[in-house]
Amino acid sequence: MPYSGLAEFISTLENNGELTRIRNFVDPVLEIAEITDRITKNNGKALLFENNGTRFPLLINAFGSEKRMALALGKNMISDAAENISGFLRDITGNNPGLCGKLRILPELFKMSRFLPSEKRKKGSCQQIIIREPDLGILPVLKCWPHDGGRFITLPMVHTAHPVTGKTNVGMYRMQIFDKVTTGMHWQRHKTGASHYEAWKKTGMKMPVTVTLGGDPVYTYCATAPLPENISEYILAGFLRKSRIKLVKCITNDLYIPEDADIVIEGYVDPAEPLATEGPFGDHTGFYSLPDLYPVFHVTCITHSENAVYPATIVGIPPQEDAWLAKTTSAIFLPPMKLAVQPEIDDIHLPDAGVAHNLTIVRINKSYPGQGMKVINSLSGAGQMMFSKYIIVVSGDVDIRNYRDLTKHVIKHTNLQSDIVFTHGPLDVLDHSSGRFSFGGKAGIDATVKLPEEIVNTNECESVKVKRRDPLSGSHLPVRNFNADLTLEGIGVAILAVDTSEDPDPVSYIVSALKKENHQDLPELILVVDHTVDIYDYFMVTWQALGNTDPVRDHYIISHRTIMLDATIKLTKSGKFQGKWPNVVCSDPGTIEHVDEMWDKLGLGSFLTSPSLKAGKLLRKGKASVEL
């Protein structure tokens, strides 16, 4: 059943034991983010900050668990939504030969037509209060991290329309508050909003834009979903809800928005106006995205419902709330991907440490040689998958969410000479590792069980042997520390920690030295990280390795069976990396101390230490970007 705004969703969360109300004052500047970071990383509840200095309660972490994500979609489980889509696709794409077969699918198509959005002439509940002299200061907009460029609206649903085709889009793009009536509009170059902006630029006219906040939580999810450019997000919302979404016309422009939105910010972007500097912003990669030029959004009107709630989220070092949005997308969009692109796909997993685009794990039902590479090549150009930095394809019954078993499988079934393909292509604009904006190296790894035609040599499928000693002990390498514990479990991975501030280029020496070692004693994968990384925290190591590497530039083949990956900061005195390197996202000591002091008064249960105390060890000299 649809929710008529966030207040109704909040009641559902509370009735299911999934919400904590915080009645004491908490500042939207840094404090709410610090509290939320502690809660999200400890699998805590949704939070409602009722006293934040404005009239609007602030809801955060509302999507931060499988149960809450399912409740947001009106389902018992996320998998129910995937099954709805699978069932519909089966009905309309099954064996329907001849006219009679085609006629049998008409009832299903008719049902689908019931979920198309409708436009109302009357005003909606989102327009119960109309503010024609707007001031964004009435909203409890967060400043999340100490080096953010300002306060950011973090869960906006940005409505635009193409000036020629009239096709609409609802996207989620962060918005930095510049003043009472202007914000930045973070339209990344690959997004539909940016495409609409370029089209409006050719008309010489101002571009109408309307931002909605809240409403039925299914809208927020659909605004993040990777839909084809000309498919309305409200069609997906209606299908998931099994109810037509009702839209109303804005007060100051001709766009249509959900009648049950909590808050509406109307306005325009003038394509003839110079771009403005936006950022820095502590981003979902766990690093700051650095300042860049983006369009300016001008506010002409704010409307809201009488019981409006302001929704927000924070991003930063994973895992965060957005990981559950990504998990939901993987589940819901696997059926159409299997149908339209890769029928052999059995499962897809985006590990939290890969922050959506850095690592994609795929398991397939394999039936012929070369099928693993076929899947890698196809996925590399499939919608949002084009941003994937590492794609690993496996087959068999391996659990792709059991990372120890998965790593064993990948090592056992990967031949360095034949099973890894390196290439270049588009990257997420937030990727900092390549040194080239939104373009860099990629790697596809075919770790499927090999058929006879694919086996290059007799050692390829040889079982991994358990190493009974540290394979790098005794090596004279410029390392601060190393961890070879996994090799004792039969997992051929070792982690080296180096200090690039003392030696600007230790990797070249390590590569040369390792090539002189007894190759049979070396593990199959050697990861080199900075000395500030906790090399016994495998989640942190993985996150750093995926974020800090360009797969083409940073891999080294040590021997026919050993590969090394350089996951260190590349901005060193060697001068090899040209560009800026972002710092990791952490709270400042003053905010941490203040939240510690107020914790017992917040009603959040047992004291939780700040995740930034550990992550702060990764910080380098500088603010949002690293300084040498």
Q: Residue 419 is encoded by which pair of tokens?
A: 């099973």
Query: In the beta sheet, which residues pair with residue 60?
Result: 47, 312
Contacts of 271 (CB under 8 A, 6+ apart): 197, 200, 201, 206, 207, 295
Contacts of 536 (CB under 8 A, 6+ apart): 483, 485
| d(C-alpha 307, C-alpha 304), whole Å | 8
3-state helix, strand, coil in the chain (%, to 5): 30, 25, 45
How many other β-carbons are positioned within 10 Å of the β-carbon of residue 508? 13
| d(C-alpha 439, C-alpha 427), whole Å | 5
| d(C-alpha 396, C-alpha 398), whole Å | 6
Helix (H/G/I), strand (E/B), else coil: 348: strand
Nearest one of 304, 421, 315, 232 to 57, comparing CA atoms: 304
Specify the amino acid at residue 475: S
* 438 Rama class: left (phi>0) / alpha (psi -120 to 50) / beta: left
How many other β-carbons are positioned within 10 Å of the β-carbon of residue 387? 21
Helix (H/G/I), strand (E/B), else coil: 557: strand
Q: Residue 65 is encoded by which pair of tokens?
A: 């668990």
| d(C-alpha 323, C-alpha 583), whole Å | 21
Please say if 283 is a catalytic residue: yes
| d(C-alpha 534, C-alpha 582), whole Å | 19
The catalytic residue among 260, 262, 283, 352 is 283
Within its chain, how far is the Cα of 270 from the centroid? Answer: 29
Helix (H/G/I), strand (E/B), else coil: 93: helix
Helix (H) or strand (E) holding 595: helix 589-598
Look-up of token digits 């890969």:
354
| d(C-alpha 250, C-alpha 161), whole Å | 13
Q: How many helices (H) and strands (E) does the chain have?
A: 17, 30
- Contact between 317 and 611 (Cβ < 8 Å): yes
- Contact between 172 and 191 (Cβ < 8 Å): no
Residues across the chain: 628
Helix (H) or strand (E) holding 198: helix 192-203
| d(C-alpha 381, C-alpha 213), whole Å | 32
Nearest one of 131, 47, 54, 605 to 312, comparing CA atoms: 47
Look-up of token digits 């540290």:
470
Contacts of 306 (CB under 8 A, 6+ apart): 125, 128, 129
- Give me the active site residues, please: 283
